Each structure stands twice: as C-alpha cells, then as structure tokens.
Structure 1
Amino acid sequence: MMKPDVLRSAAQGGFRCLSRRPISHNSKIAYQSYRSFISTPPCREERKWTTPLGKQLTDAINTTGPIPLASYMRMCLTADIGGYYTGALEEGRDQFGRKGDFITSPEISQIFGELVGVWFVAEWLSQGRPKQGVELIEVGPGRGTLMDDMLRTMRNFKEMASSIETVYMVEASAELRTAQKTLLCGEDAVLTESKIGWHSTSKYSGLPIVWTDSIKSIPQDPDKTPFLVAHEFFDALPIHAFQVVEVAQTQQPPTTNESSNSNQGSETPIVRTKQWREMVVSPTPKGTTHADLSTPKSEQHEPVPEFQLTLNTSVTRHAQYLPEASPRYRALKSTPGALIEVCPDASLYASDFASRIGGSSQPTHLNNKPHPSGAALILDYGPAETIPTNSLRGIRRHRRVSPFAAPGLVDLSADVDFGALVEAATLASAGVECHGPVDQAFFLEAMGIRQRAEMLAKSLGSAAGGEDKKKELERSWKRLVDRGPGGMGKVYKVLAILPENGGRRRPVGFGGDVSA
C-alpha cells in the first residue's frame, strides 16, 4: 500500500530500543546459555535467505533477541538496503499498478482522484473561499497519480486554483520522488534541493511543488489553510501487537512482627493478574512446517516463511505503556486472551494533521491558530468501530502471501484503527472535529461517481474502441463502490478532520452539502 513517511534514521534505528541483557559472569549457567544463544550453528551458515534484508534481520535478532513487530515492519518497508519502498532489489520493479504488487484506487479510475479534488474544492467554498495561503499536502503519494488527478480537476475552479500557494509531497523514497516529479512536472523538469527538501514546478499553472521526507519539515503556519490527503498511507505504518495473558505472582506477606509470627510455616500467597505481552518476531527454526505455523491454506503453496511471530515471555517496555495509552485499550485488559494492534506513528500523524487545521491544544506550541482552517481527508481500510486484531498481511504480485517471507520484496500493511485516529486528532487540538469514518461507497456515491462516469462515457462517443473503453470505465468505477464481501466500497473507509463548528455543518460526502 502507500508507503509510510518514515525517516531513514528511524529505519536504521529500528533495533536501538532493544538493549542487550548483561551477562552474569558469576553464573556459569547464564554464561553458557548466552553463548549458546549468540553462537552460529553449522546449519545456520548453510541457510539461504531469499533477500539480503532477511540475513540482516536475522543477524540483528541473533544479537538483540526477538524484535517488536513494528521494528520488523519498519525495516522491511523502509530500510536503506533492500527496503520495499526505499531499496528496490528487482530490476524494473514497480510496486503499483497491474504489473506491480497491488493496484490502488487512483490507478483503477481517474474518477477517484477527480472526486477527491472536488471534495477539497467544496471545503474551500464552505470555508469562505480564502484567496491565498492554501497548501495542498499529500503523505504517501505513491506514483503521484492522486495528486495529478486532483490538480487537473482543481484548475477548472480558477479561484480555488489561484489560492493554492504550494503543493507538498511527503515522500521517503528517492525513486518514488523521481516518478512523482516526472508525472507532475515533466521528465525534463529540474529538481533542486534546499534545507526543507526538493523543489520543482508543476505542469499545472506553474505551482511550486516541494518534496520532503518528513511532514515535520513542512512549517506549521497559523495563517495558512492546509488541505491534507492520505490515501492508503496509514495502513503501511508499523504496528505493535499485544495479547492479554494471565500470570501468577507471589503476594508479599505483611512485615509486622505479629504478622510474621502468625505466618510462620504458611505458604506464600499466590495471586493471578492479567498483563499485556508483546508479539515479537524471530527467525523460523529450521525444519518448521506450515502446520507448526498454522499457515492459511491459501499460503501453503509458498515456502515456509523465514520469520515467525511469537508471544514475548516477559513484559517489554512497549507493553508497559502502549496498551495503557487509551481507555479503548485498557477496557480490554480484563478480557482473557484479548488481542490488539497499536500504531503510535498513526496517532502522531493524526495529531499533526489536527494541529495544522485547528491549532495545538498545548499552550506552549508555536501553532496557536486563532482561526481554524483547512481539512484532512483520510482514505484507507480497516474497521469503523473496533480495534484491529490479526490484520497484518503481505501482498506480492496481487496475491496474499505471508508477511514474514521474502523481507523487502513483500508489501506489508495492517488495518487502520480509525477510532485511534479520531481520539488522537481531538486530543491534539480543540479546534477540530472529525466526521466518519464512512464506507468508501457511501462517500464516492455522495460525491457523484455515477454521474461523472456517465459524463466520461458520453465523451467517448462512437470513436474506434469506444465501446471497450466504456466497458472498462464502468468496470472500474463499480469496483470502487463494490459493497460485496471484501469489496473496496465496503472495506475502505473515509475519515475527515475539519475545523470545529459545533456540529453545525456536515461536509459533502459525509451526509452534508456545500455551504458557500
């Protein structure tokens, strides 16, 4: 799915939180155990890894011990050497489109990007038609198709187009930045570098386009009107996974002399408590079968994955605070065996979006915005009301594969916790409110996808090949709104973050209309 905006330094530092345990030289058993753990048996030298990143991960795990799922995802997706988005290993590989690993909504039909562009035009109208200071910001822009369709659409609304000051593209991959520049600016367009990022000029009205590898590089100006879009971005951010376990603990007896005398000869009381334990990744032992890993039948034709997910035997530092960070998670701690997935990066991005639109709730923050303005549109897949569990998936060449096989060659993604995004946004800024999530089908139909498709079909006329193009057009837009099991119209959701208005106005696409 769309790549996460993760600084390369974060990718390189994915294992820094995992400190080595000290060796007890006074304990021969502990020392021998440690030597056994880090030593490399003869069979390991003979093991062949499908990718260099697989060997790199194994070497790191053999040094530090099993790693959090988030560290594994971050390295697989954004490692400098062999990362899925930042270090292509296969000649001419393209992650997107029919010839790649997956196809996204903007690649399926141009109507998708056109309607997203119209949504922002509607918000611009509803927010008083600001004449200047509008910023377009896209995180995880893929090949740039969505932004290209948006800009092409917006130029038909001349007042809105003239209010756009800068287009920002938040992209960590140098290869994808080049692809986006070629599409949006032209193959011969010059790309210059500054402290903020890389600059070029759009083929649409000469708009300046700035690429950054972090959203933090984009200044938060209280006088600007930011319009942010994130399509299939949040699903690729690294997640942590946790499970509730019941553990036995000894209860210390009272320390008074009277209590001590009365408890002489009695057994130490045992109490059972519930704890969050983190799911961690380690190499799959040699000889492991699909049955050992409970591999789904659809994936059993592949070789046994090189890595596996297991429950950590002790409490990690992530397990101590991440599941306690929200009342939504804490409420599940009393449920035996409960599973949750937590994405700290997603909450950080949602908070950033909200503070740009509504100003920060922190009194010391530089962006104390007196008049909230702008909007964010998040389009991704995940449950509307529940917390995701067991949702990590791998995609390669349009097929589901194990997320723990061929690191760096498989796209990894997980369901988005929309409830966590809403919680993070509203906590970050008192100046915003959230609408949705609604099903993608509901949003696109409310935006007029059927009517737009009919207009495009008429424009094809009776020209050569027109009937085939009409059939493809119909197939494409109907795929976007398919409400069947696993259909894009049902699985994908849309969430909006807007300036707080006391619920007096619902945005178009969410049950409301344009109020100019």
Structure 2
Amino acid sequence: MRSSVPRTFRQITRNATRLNVPRCRASGARWSSTAAAAEEEGHKWSTPLAKQLTEAITTTGPIPVASYMRQCLTSDLGGYYTPKTSSQNDQFGTKGDFVTSPEISQIFGELIGLWVVAEWIAQGRRGAGVYLMEMGPGRGTLMDDMLRTIRNFPPLAKAIEAVYLVEASQNLRLAQHKLLCGENPLTENSIGHESTSKYSPDLRIIWAEDVRFIPQDPTKTPFMIAHEFFDALPIHVFQSVPPPQPPKEGDAADTIETPTGPIKNPRRLPQGHQWRELVVSPTPLHRLNEGEPEFELTMAKAATPHSMYLPETSSRYKALKDVDGATIEISPESLAYARDFAIRLGGSNPETSPPSQPAAGRKAVASAPREEAVMKDEPSGAALIIDYGPASNIPANSLRGIKQHTRVSPFTSPGTTDVSADVDFLALAGSAINSSPGVEVHGPVSQALFLTAMGIEERAAQLVKKAMVEKGRTGEGKEELTEVVKRIEGGWQRLVDLSPQGMGGLYQVMAMLPFRPEQFGEEGKKRRPVGFGGDVRL
C-alpha cells in the first residue's frame, strides 16, 4: 500500500505562499492566461483536482513536487487513496493499477511473519508488551498472512497486545477491517478506530491516520513493517545550476532576482553552484492538447526555503552540488518516519533536539502532540522496510505515475493516477542512526536475497506437496492440480526474479534492530539477523 498523511487543499496554497517563489510578470501572465483561457475555450479538466490545482497555482505560483504528490494521493477533493465516493475501483490486483507482493503469493506475508518470530526469539522471547505496526497496509493481506503465521507460535501470539495500522484512506480501512476482523464491530477510539482480530478475541486491531498518534511507550517492544509505503511519501526535487554571471558595472541589468525582489548589487551574487527546486506548474495552454498532462516540472527562478536548507543537510547532497545539472530527490517525511521507528526501538538521542515542527498531516497539523524525548532502558523490537529504489545512490528523476499496470506521466489525471518515487535507503538509515543510540541498520539487500534466505523455495515446495495431498483426497482432476501448482510456482519465482521484469532486484529490504552489545557480542560488532546473512538465535 502506498499512502501518506493527507492535507487539505488550503494547506497547499499556504505552502506555495510560504515558498515565495518569484513570479516575474511574464510568468505570472502565463499562469493566469492558462487558467482563464482554458475556461474560455471550454477546456475539460481531466479531474476536479486538476482544475483546483491549476486555480491554486494561478493564485500563488508553482508548488513543490511534495505538495503535488500529497494532493494527488490524499486530497480531500478526491485523491488516489481518498476518493470522494466508495465506488472507485480497487487499486490493487490485476483489475486495478498495480499488484503488490502479498497479493502475488501468500508466502511473502508468511515469511515476513516468520522474520518477526525469529527476531522475537533472538531478543529473549518477551512474554508481554509486544505490538505489531504496519504502515499503509493496503487491503490488509500482508498483516493477515503474518497473523495467520504467528498464531502457530502461541507464546508470541499471546505476547502481542495490539496491532496498529497506520492508514489515511477510509475505504482501505474498511477493507482491512473486513479481512482482519470479520464481523467484529469497528468503533472509534481516542486515536482513530479499533476492532478485534478474527484470530483472537484478545487481540485489538487499532487504526490511526498518523504514526504520531500511536504512543511511543519505552516499556513496549514494537515490530514495525513498512511495505511499499515510503515510495509514496512526498519528495522535493532539486537541481544544481552554475553560479550566475555578474553583469558589467553600469549595465542596465545590474541586478539579481531574489524571492523578495531585485537587488542592485552584483558583487553579492552567490558564489559557486546553487540548488534550485523543481516545482509543478500548469502546462502552457498552447501545448495543452487533449489527453496530454495538464502539469509539468519547471525550475524555480531563485532559491526557495527548501532549496536553501534540505540539500545542505547531508554530505551526500553537498558532494553533488558542484556538478552541473545534478538532480537529487529528498523526502523529509520519510526521514521523520525513520526517526520515529528508531526512537520506538532504542529511545531518543539525547544529543539531538526534537524537531520544532512535526511532519504535516490533516489531523496531525491541528492536534498531534509535540515530540518529547523517549528514554528506553533496554532497546527492543525491530523494523522491516521493503520498497523499491537504489541500494546506495541518491534517487534522481524517479517520479512516476502508474495506471492500469502501465507507467505513465505523474501529471496525468491527478487523483486517479498512483504517484510514487524511489526510496533513498541510505538516507533512512542515516536518519535512524542519528535519531537513537539504541539502533543499528542492516541492508539494504535485494528482495531476492532476503526471501531466498528466509526459505521461500522450501515453503513453496511445502504448499505444492500440501496441494497434491488435498487434491488427491478430494479426487479433483489433474488439470485443477496443475493450475494450483502453476500459481504457487509462478508466484514465488516472480518475487525473486532478478530480470528487468522481475521483482527480486527491483525491491530492497532494510532492517532496523536494537543495538545492545552486551547481549549480542563485542561492541561495534553487529549481529546479523535472519534474511541478512544470519541465523535464528535460540
């Protein structure tokens, strides 16, 4: 599931206003004429959101890619995961826009469940205070397969006191409730909604729109899963440009443009390369042909607050600043989630202060509590992140749209097209390690390597054998058995396929674990978890 925390439309206009993106007369006239002329010529907007975005940009100027992504996915007007009506087709499966690993084979969720079991065993088999948490759980398939697997280990199943699902979509929340809870009622609680698992009357299933509504209790042991979640969190895009050439003294153009207006002082021109933010603007009317994207990327004409701050936060970004045309993508919300995971596992880093402003969200903006330091005496739990993106490089030019299993422009039919971008795994690792002294990071490794180490082929063989026994008992024909075997074999092989069309190399897996050298070996020596080159520790 790829969902992020929603914002209202009013927030997007405030973002653009705060950016102070310079609007020269020519550009301002173009934006206004695009919207006005389109109305006069009877342009039919692809979606209501496309029309509203154009009107907002006409009023306030181009908006960051992050604001555009957030609106496309979770707008109150009708985002991809927050449609105005419940009649919108399911995004998942062969009839939707994309197929996720849990939908391809039950083995995927079973192995994730086994990974949690292995970590629980390695950390001393805690008998209470354990909880599961999944970010953007889609239709609930992954968590259902995990719970079905974990119930085969009664001590762990009994130790789990709750399952938290971070979900922004009401429609998906209802689908998850139906799958995970059956006929048990769904009620509201202080942080969102809750029900009871169909697997146990003692297991609470709790939904929240924002991870910060879920208490960071230092006495608890969390096991967190984020599968195809980070790729939907908004990104900012920046490109390096060479320094401007100073005009000759006395030249009529002896000025520079800044967000607050022109300055007549060429000697104060910025030295060296600059980062410029790529922002979203309406496509000019003369190129707005029927069926073509109504928006496009343009470069801000001067520095924005985001471009002056975000690319300066990491040496990885600074190393590319002097490269003409270098493009980088940064997701502050992804770093905030990685920080949250790390603090839940190992407690806060006393050397870093909490951020002054939390990650944006519809309810979160108004009512989420300010982050406070969390001191955890004994780090515990684990987090598993599975997503697509480069294993070590900074993502660039990865913004994409997906519609009916086909890659399309991310600016096509806003609100009805899935929009995502590659995940910067090293940035997540850095955020986690800097946020808590009690965590360590493993990976990323390819999905093929992880699932193979977890025993995907062996599990598939068990399912084939079971199917042969059951079909033989019921006397069903050979054709039915052949179809079942084909589905099992085709599913697991697709998950580990390393070809360009496969998922084994496209997806990466990264783990966050508690760092406790007194239990797991010499200080500085990392214990490799199962799936990352290690074995189950009994």
Match of 2:145 in 1: 149
1:326 aligns to 2:328 (yes or no): no
Structure 2 residue aligned with 1:499? 514
Letter in 2 for 1:198: H
Distance 1:48 1:158, change over 3 A: same
Query: Quick check: 1:440 aligned with 2:430?
Result: no
Give the aligned residue type for 1:321.
Y
Shift of 1:88: 5.0
Instruction: Give 1:251 deviation, angstroms.
Output: 9.7
CA deviation vs aligned residue, 1:265-288 (integer Å, no higher than 9, x gap): xx9798862100000111111232
Are 2:184 and 2:198, in contact at CA under 8 Å, matched by a contact in 1? Answer: no
Counterpart code for 2:345 = I
Q: Which residue of 1 aligns with 2:260?
A: none
Alignment of 1:88-487 (within 5 A): 88=84, 91-186=87-182, 188-206=183-201, 207-248=203-244, 250=246, 273-288=272-287, 303-362=291-350, 365-461=372-468, 463=471, 464=476, 465-487=480-502
Displacement, 1:503? 2.8
Three-state SS of the structure 1 residue aligned to 2:432 is helix
TM-aligned CA distance change 1:342 to 1:20, over 3 Å: closer
Task: Work out whether residues 19 and 304 of structure 2, in 8 Å CA contact, stay in contact via their aligned partners in 1.
Answer: no
Displacement of 1:366 after TM fit?
Answer: 3.5
Runs of 5+ unmatched residues, structure 1: 23-28, 254-266, 291-301
Q: In structure 2, list runs of 5 or more residues that go unmatched.
A: 250-265, 354-371, 517-523
**Contact 2:31 2:57 survives alignment (8 Å):** no
**Code of the aligned partner of 1:393:** R
Counterpart secondary structure, 1:19: helix
SS at match of 2:333: helix
What displacement does 1:41 show?
3.7
Deviation at 1:18, TM superposition (A): 1.9
1:122 CA displacement: 0.2
2:128 maps to a residue whose letter is: Q
The amino acid across from 1:200 in the alignment is S
Contact 2:328 2:394 in 1 (8 A): yes
Q: Tell me how far apart the structure 2 counterparts of residues 230 and 327 of structure 1 sit (CA, whole Å).
A: 26
Give 1:32 deviation, angstroms. 9.7
CA contact (8 A) 2:272 2:322 kept: no
Displacement, 1:407?
Answer: 0.4
Change (3 A) 1:381 1:43: closer
Q: Distance in 1 between matches of 2:36 and 2:223?
A: 55
Q: Residues 371-420 of structure 1: CA distance to partner in whole angstroms, max 9, x if unpaired? A: 00000000000000100000011101111111101001100011000010
The Cα shift of 1:7 comes to: 4.0
Question: What secondary structure does 1:166 align onto?
Answer: strand
Partner of 1:17: 15
Summarize deviations over 1:164-210 as a string: whole Å, max 9, x none: 01100000111111000000001x32111122110100001121011
Over the matched positions of the two proteins, sequence identity in percent amounts to 56
Distance 2:175 2:140 in 1: 7
| Cross-structure match for 1:5 | 4
| Equivalent AA in structure 2 for residue 428 of structure 1 | S
SS of the aligned residue for 1:244 comes to strand
Q: Deviations over 1:306-339 (max 9, x none)?
A: 1111111111111010111111111110111110
Q: Give the aligned partner of residue 264 of structure 1.
A: none
Letter of the aligned partner of 2:341 in structure 1? F
Measure how far apart 1:113 and its partner are: 0.2
Structure 1 residue 352, shift from structure 2 partner:
0.2
Residues 36-66 of structure 1 deviation map (CA, whole Å, 9 limit, x = unaligned): 7546544433211110000010000000111
Contact 2:276 2:299 (8 Å CA) reproduced: yes
- What secondary structure is seen at the aligned counterpart in 2 of 1:405? coil
1:142, CA displacement in angstroms? Answer: 0.4
Contact 1:249 1:271 in 2 (8 A): no
Q: Could you say which residue in structure 2 is the equivalent of 1:512?
A: 534
**1:293 paired residue number:** none
Q: Normalization by structure 2: what TM-score?
A: 0.85
Letter in 2 for 1:493: Q
The amino acid that maps onto 2:507 is Y
Q: Contact between 1:353 and 1:425, CA under 8 Å: does it hold in 2?
A: yes
Q: Residue 76 of structure 2 contacts residue 84 of structure 2 at CA under 8 Å; is this kept in 1?
A: no
Aligned counterpart, 1:60: 56
Q: Is the 8 A contact 1:132 1:163 kept in 2?
A: yes
For the structure 1 residues 51 and 509, does the alpha-carbon distance in structure 2 shift closer, same or farther, using more than 3 Å as the test? Answer: same
Residue 447 to residue 314, structure 1, CA distance change in 2 (3 Å): same
Judged with a 3 Å threshold, the aligned counterparts in structure 2 of structure 1 residues 33 and 337 are, in CA distance, closer, same or farther, namely closer
Deviation sequence 1:443-485 (CA, Å, 0-9, x none) = 0000000000000000111622111110111001000000112
How far 1:211 sits from its partner (Å)? 0.3
SS in 2 for 1:112: helix
SS at match of 1:322: helix
Counterpart Cα distance in 2 of 1:184 and 1:90:
20
Secondary structure of the residue aligned to 1:273 is coil
Please say if residues 12 and 75 of structure 1, whose CA atoms lie closer than 8 Å, have aligned partners that are also in contact: no
CA, structure 1 residues 65+454, in 2 after alignment: closer, same or farther (shift >3 Å)? Answer: same
Offset at residue 304 of structure 1 (A): 1.5
